[in-house]
């Protein structure tokens, strides 16, 4: 599975997600792939109680949420810390799962 990466345009310096071949702002084609490690605000969260994917079924209920990153893009994340509430500052990182896949995970800012 492809890792989830944030892109930064070398022309206008803006960030975008998901990945594209061109910058959504200036159409520049020089984009740098960056691992996620960015602060943002949790906009909303919800708990999944059903899933058709085995890797999620084993860990239900599974909390997901939407984070507005300080650098621009809004991303869908997984949340293991059930104490995180909407409006709280969080940090989004790539988290390696036991099956080798990567997910975007939000955690409290230190």
Task: Tell the burial category of 99 from Cβ atoms under 10 Å away from its Cβ (0-12, 13-18, 19+).
Answer: exposed
Residue 44 interacts with Zn ion (CB under 5 A)?
no
Stretch binding Zn ion (CB under 5 A), from 12-20, 32-40, 72-80, 81-89: 12-20
- Look at residues 68, 11, 66, 3 and name the one whose alpha carbon lies nearest to residue 35: 3
Torsion sign (Cα): 58, 61, 67, 73:
positive
CB contact set of 83 (below 8 Å; sequence gap of 6+): 108
Near Zn ion by CB under 5 A: residue from 26, 37, 43, 96: 26
How far apart are CB 11 and Zn ion at their closest, in Å?
A: 4
Window of 10-18, 32-40, 66-74, 80-88 that interacts with Zn ion by CB under 5 A: 10-18
CB of 19 to Zn ion, least distance (A): 14
Judged by beta carbon, residue 11 or residue 33, the one nearer Zn ion is 11
Where do contacts with Zn ion occur on this chain (CB under 5 A)?
9, 11-12, 23, 25-26, 28
């Amino acid at each position: 599975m492809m890792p989830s990466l944030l892109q930064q345009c070398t022309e206008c310096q803006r960030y975008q997600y998901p990945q594209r071949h061109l910058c959504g702002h200036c159409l520049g084609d020089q984009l740098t792939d960056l691992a996620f490690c960015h602060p943002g605000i949790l906009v909303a969260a919800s708990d999944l109680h059903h899933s058709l994917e085995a890797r999620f079924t084993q860990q239900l209920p599974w909390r997901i949420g939407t984070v507005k990153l300080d650098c621009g893009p809004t991303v869908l994340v997984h949340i293991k810390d059930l104490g995180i509430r909407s409006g709280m500052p969080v940090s989004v990182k790539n988290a390696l799962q036991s099956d080798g896949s990567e997910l975007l995970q939000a955690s409290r800012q230190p």
